[in-house]
Structure 1
Amino acid sequence: DVLQALYNYNRHPENWDGSRPSNENPWCGGNTRKLLQAIYLISFTCLLRIDEVLHIQAHDIKTWFDNDGVSCVSITLRERKNKYTDNIPPYILQELPPHMAHLCPVRAIADWLAATRITHGYVFRRIDRWDQPMLEGNVNIVTYPFCCQ
């Protein structure tokens, strides 16, 4: 399971230091892996297209704890393909149990936001060559790298 392997790899401190990718692992750094985990899990869980996930902004995400102390997230989309209206109900997500952590979008969103400290604008920003989100200009990621080879 690719998501399980990605989740486990991201949990080892020696594999994630938030810096530029090393020579041993030149593909991507820790922030890029956290970005991908969050995007894929939101898309998978909410049955969203990648471009819909990439347009999520910080003000579209609300967090809280339910009565049992479980972390919850609400994601409100401004538009969906073929549906340009304000009547799109929010997606309500609950934190999954620890044995399903690799499939938990709530944990993935929290990890991404904690790592990048993004508090406004697009949640999923382009990553620079130093594995840091580009915070200037509020530019989201384009869909192309996720769907084409």
Structure 2
Amino acid sequence: MSRIEEYVQAATRDNTRRSYASAVEHFEIQWGGMLPATADRVAHYLADYADSLSLNTLRQRLAAIGRWHVDHGFADPTKTNLVKRTLKGIAELHPYREKQAAPLQLTQLEALEGYWHAELEVGATTSGETLRILRNRALILLGFWRAFRSDELCRIDVQHIEFGAGAGMTLHLGRSKTDHSHGGTTYRCPALSRLCPVKACQEWLSASGIKTGPLFRGVDRWGHMRNTGMHANSIVPLLRKELAGAGIEGAQYSSQSLRRGFASWANSNGWDIKSLMEYVGWRDVKSALRYMDTADPYKKQKIEAGLLKY
């Protein structure tokens, strides 16, 4: 791979690269499309999957097909009026409501903490199981209180963490989804009186002996750790397995549940939208509101309070 190819590849996030490759494969292999493609064939592809794939998935497939054409020097058929109008018609005839992961609640974090404490108190776990409990506790608590995405959690390096005595810790991520300037982002995480992510991370580092490299990494049953970081796709099954251990049905939860859970908790506890956006790193209000669940979604309390005046 040439230096230029290396830099070009680095400009695209790993998750995006994988999803685009999967989308192109779906178009070619599963549907039987030919690349380069005509606008007519792309429109037929959309029509064939209009009632089985979500609008967001179709848009992602179009983005991947369009990127393939641009990267290979061909005209992009996804930008034609035919394809655009076909997608617009699908949106009209097949309205789709985006499914959102359930937000993790503080009571569920408490249940998880009780489960972890009980497992560690038993003392009958293997070294690998003990390490996994400590790792998972640190990952989930940090993911919740800092509202991190899965890929952000997996890219935290130990050498970029600084612990402040009693105050909290500072983490620096070299890149993230919203860091378009590629200057990196520094996050501060407070030390808390309970459910503390700072203490959980310190205990995980102390037990694992990790001095450099990824903070969160795979651990086998004998306690051997990988040198590489965990994959972002492993966070969802990890979270659901931990919830199941605590007696909580986990099917409705995903990695976004940590982010949505914190946003909803902060909103219910009086955080103004500006403070929440600054803390999480959202650049627009729409992104923030999409993650927030209010304690009174039907506005019953507000309406009832108004009725009492008459």
Question: Normalised by the shorter chain, which TM-score bucket?
Answer: 0.7 to 0.9
Cα 1:133–1:124 shift into 2, 3 Å: farther
* 1:78 correspondence with 2:180: no
Following superposition, the deviation at residue 60 of structure 1 comes to 1.2
Q: 1:105 aligns with which of 185, 191, 197?
A: 197
Q: Is the 8 A contact 2:135 2:204 kept in 1?
A: yes
The structure with more radius of gyration: 2
Following superposition, the deviation at residue 147 of structure 1 comes to 2.5
Whichever residue aligns with residue 144 of structure 1, its letter is N
Q: Is the 8 A contact 2:175 2:184 kept in 1?
A: no
Match of 2:43 in 1: none
Task: Give the whole-Å Cα distance in 1 for the aligned partners of 2:233 and 2:183.
Answer: 27
TM-score (norm 2): 0.38
Deviations 1:96-126 (CA, angstroms, capped at 9, x unpaired): 11xxx22x11111111111111111111111
Task: Give the whole-Å Cα distance in 2 for the aligned partners of 1:18 and 1:118.
Answer: 21
Higher RCO structure, 1 or 2 (CA under 8 Å, sep 6+) = 1
Following superposition, the deviation at residue 94 of structure 1 comes to 2.1
Gaps of 5+ in 2: 1-106, 238-250, 252-310
Deviations 1:31-67 (CA, angstroms, capped at 9, x unpaired): 11211111112221112101111111111100121xx
Q: 2:164 aligns with which of 48, 53, 64?
A: 64
RMSD (CA atoms): 2.3
Corresponding residue pairs, total: 130
Cα 1:18–1:110 shift into 2, 3 Å: farther
* 1:145 correspondence with 2:217: no
Question: For residues 1-149 of structure 1, what are the structure 2 equivalents within 5 Å?
Answer: 1-12=107-118, 13-16=120-123, 19=126, 29-65=129-165, 70-84=166-180, 85-88=182-185, 90-97=186-193, 101-102=194-195, 104-130=196-222, 132-135=223-226, 138-147=227-236
Task: Give the whole-Å Cα distance in 2 for the aligned partners of 1:75 and 1:17.
Answer: 34
Gaps of 5+ in 1: 22-28
Whichever residue aligns with residue 143 of structure 1, its letter is A
Cα 1:126–1:91 shift into 2, 3 Å: same
